[in-house]
Amino acid sequence: MQNDEIAKVLDAIADMLELSGENFFRVRAYRNAARAIHDQPVAVAELTLEQIDEIPGIGADLAGKIATLTKTGDLPIRRELANKFPRELLELREIPGLGPKRIKLLMDLLHIRGKEDLERYAKSGKLHSIKGFGPKMAEKILEAIARKEPGSGKRILYSEAAIVAAALVEHLRKCRAIEELEVAGSFRRRRETIGDLDVVAAAAHPEPVTKQFLSFPAVARVAGSGETKTTVVLKDGLQVDLRVVPRASFGAALTYFTGSKAHNIHLRRIAQERGLLLNEYGLFRGKSIVAGRTEEQVYRALKLPWIAPEMREDRGEIEAASSGTLPALIDRADLRGDLHTHSTYTDGRSSIEEMARKERESGLKYFAVTDHSRRLAMAHGLDPKRLREQAREIKNLGKQLKGVTILRGIEVDILDDGSLDLPDNALAELDWVVASVHYKLDQNPRDMTRRLIKAIRNRNVDAIGHPTGRLIGHREPSSFDLGEILRVAREEGCAMEIDSQPERLDLTDTMCMAAKRAGVKLVISSDAHSPREIDLLEYGVNQARRGWIEAGDVLNTRPCKSFRQRRALVSV
């Protein structure tokens, strides 16, 4: 079982316990455990009972249940609860705004058993009879039911959302009434996938802003429209929410709609502890506004420094902020090298020279040409002979091309058993060796762990490329014991790659955190197959920032000279 599958089961149990009217603490124990497991960088299914027990947020009783769950794939308590409630009722949890508490009300007061009942009651106006279900809520529910039809609700890659966001911002900027504008939500937090876009604008009057928004050419239909909030669905199915607030509230609205929800809830609790109220309009003491104009002011009034959006997941950033230990996150400008690129020697689309010119133009001082090794026959992988030919070309180019150093590298295949696709003597001559798994990604975790460790132990290997092999939305990550891999990587001075391709972003954010904690260096690489793809480095940096990574944690922030001396620098 994958971590998020385990978390889903625990969350479902929490919901059903709440529907049963169970006590708050029992429900919360399941929720906390679900969250803790979701955020675990290692595969919990691979842990012993003692190790599960050690995860913060998981008590002894739940640790035992989780162990049973990973062993048997289910839990008696889940089956028992699931038998109590019709499946259609449980499906209502997918409707935003309908948590277990509200569903319980619907169940108890209206005997609603599923979506169809709910839709009927919402349309007939009967829902309003229940406290907390005004006409707005009914409208929201109907909208959500309509939206849940097939084909919608799909998350898109950050890179795809970025194209839409840029065009939309350009369109909105033409509206003179807009005083401030930001795309908030998961987009601003730079999540790898985006559910919908949340745009926040400041203006004295919302009408001209709304009008400009609705005239965006990609709008297919309006899904909801109020005075300050408008929701549209674009032609490609992406939903965009726009909120217009007065300038004095812009910072508070931006904080609120940037989220995450968990971060917001934690912030609001801190406000409450100080006798303040925080919402999307500002931070208030009684009726008077304490802060709201900028995010900095909101955080400062809560006695916190501003927190970068990438960290706002309630993974300890608020605690770090209040103790003054927030990391100084890496920036794209910190990168001085690029350590994974392809050329026409294998499956790249451009010559080494074209790649070199673009690397230089992008402000990078060095890059490694890392074409595939021979096993990837489809990509015309290199054997030792062609690798030597490439070396000659790199040497000649190096003499002509100033301002960027070309390193000789390879992306060598890790074979089934962990041995490498090229002999050690061919690898030993190179400046940089990335070792990657490209086939049999679904090996069982024990074999995959052994396979990766054997590659890491090879002293010619400098980094493991796209370690999990996942393709977001298309291919599951391979499973291995991350803790063990990181322990050995630390021992061998082997780096872990963050591959910047938008559908890879591999390592993930929480894995970056784990690598840092384990003392393993990272590299952020473009894996570019054309000059344009060198721009993708930005996405790798986003992922690193979500993993709290600082410039010093990343090898290719070093100047070329000290980068090349790194072997001598590795502490043992």
- The site for ligand DGT (CB under 6 A) is made up of 185-186, 191, 194-196, 198, 256-257, 259-261, 264-265
- Count of residues that bind Zn ion according to CB under 5 A: 1
The least distance separating ligand DGT from the CB of residue 186, rounded to whole angstroms, comes to 3
Cis before 260? omega within 30: yes
Report the relative pairing of strands 432-436 and 463-464 from DSSP bridges: parallel
Q: Residue for token digits 């048997």?
A: 72
Choice from 11, 39, 192, 241 touching Ca ion (CB under 5 A): 241
The least distance separating Zn ion from the CB of residue 453, rounded to whole angstroms, comes to 19
343 binds Zn ion (CB under 5 A): no
Cβ proximity to Zn ion, 468 vs 510, nearer residue: 468
Cβ proximity to ligand DGT, 189 vs 438, nearer residue: 189
Cβ proximity to ligand DGT, 193 vs 350, nearer residue: 193
With contacts defined by CB under 5 A, name the span among 196-204, 336-344, 490-498, 558-566 that binds Ca ion.
Answer: 196-204
- The option from Zn ion, ligand DGT, Ca ion, none interacting with 436 (CB < 5 to 8 A, set by class) reads Zn ion
Cβ proximity to Zn ion, 210 vs 436, nearer residue: 436
Choice from 11, 39, 182, 196 touching Ca ion (CB under 5 A): 196
Cβ proximity to Ca ion, 185 vs 483, nearer residue: 185
The least distance separating ligand DGT from the CB of residue 95, rounded to whole angstroms, comes to 12
Q: Residue for token digits 């070396």?
A: 391
Reported residue count of the chain is 572
- Count of residues that bind Ca ion according to CB under 5 A: 5
Half-sphere exposure of 546 (CA within 13 A, CB side): 25
* DSSP annotation string for 217-262: TTEEEEEEE-SSEEEEEETTS-EEEEEEE-GGGHHHHHHHHH--HH
Cβ proximity to ligand DGT, 254 vs 368, nearer residue: 254
The least distance separating Zn ion from the CB of residue 420, rounded to whole angstroms, comes to 14
- The option from ligand DGT, Zn ion, Ca ion, none interacting with 9 (CB < 5 to 8 A, set by class) reads none
The least distance separating Zn ion from the CB of residue 405, rounded to whole angstroms, comes to 23
Cβ proximity to Zn ion, 159 vs 373, nearer residue: 373
Choice from 185, 246, 309, 327 touching Ca ion (CB under 5 A): 185
* DSSP annotation string for 410-458: EEEEB-TTS-BSS-HHHHHT-SEEEEE--S-TT--HHHHHHHHHHHHHS
What span, in angstroms and rounded, lies between the C-alpha atoms of 80 and 88? Answer: 16
Cβ proximity to Zn ion, 373 vs 436, nearer residue: 436
Residue with smallest beta-carbon separation from ligand DGT = 259
Collapsing DSSP to helix, strand or coil, 491 comes out as helix
Half-sphere exposure of 376 (CA within 13 A, CB side): 21
Backbone angles phi, psi at 156, to 5 degrees: -115, 160
135 burial level (CB within 10 Å; 0-12, 13-18, 19+): exposed
Backbone angles phi, psi at 410, to 5 degrees: -155, 150
395 burial level (CB within 10 Å; 0-12, 13-18, 19+): exposed
The least distance separating ligand DGT from the CB of residue 447, rounded to whole angstroms, comes to 35
The least distance separating ligand DGT from the CB of residue 280, rounded to whole angstroms, comes to 8
Q: Residues 499, 527: contact at Cβ < 8 Å?
A: yes
Interhelix angle 100-110/115-124, nearest 10 degrees = 70
Per DSSP, helices labelled H in 306-383 are 317-322, 352-361
The least distance separating Ca ion from the CB of residue 533, rounded to whole angstroms, comes to 27
The least distance separating Ca ion from the CB of residue 224, rounded to whole angstroms, comes to 11
Cβ proximity to Zn ion, 40 vs 436, nearer residue: 436
Cβ proximity to Ca ion, 492 vs 509, nearer residue: 509
Q: Which amino acid is at 133?
A: F
Q: Residues 311, 543: contact at Cβ < 8 Å?
A: no
- The option from Ca ion, Zn ion, ligand DGT, none interacting with 261 (CB < 5 to 8 A, set by class) reads ligand DGT
**What is the maximal distance between C-alpha atoms in the chain?**
80
Site string for Zn ion, 408-437 (x = CB under 5 A): ----------------------------x-
Would you tell me which residues interact with Zn ion (CB under 5 A)? Answer: 436
Would you tell me which residues interact with Ca ion (CB under 5 A)? Answer: 185-186, 196, 198, 241
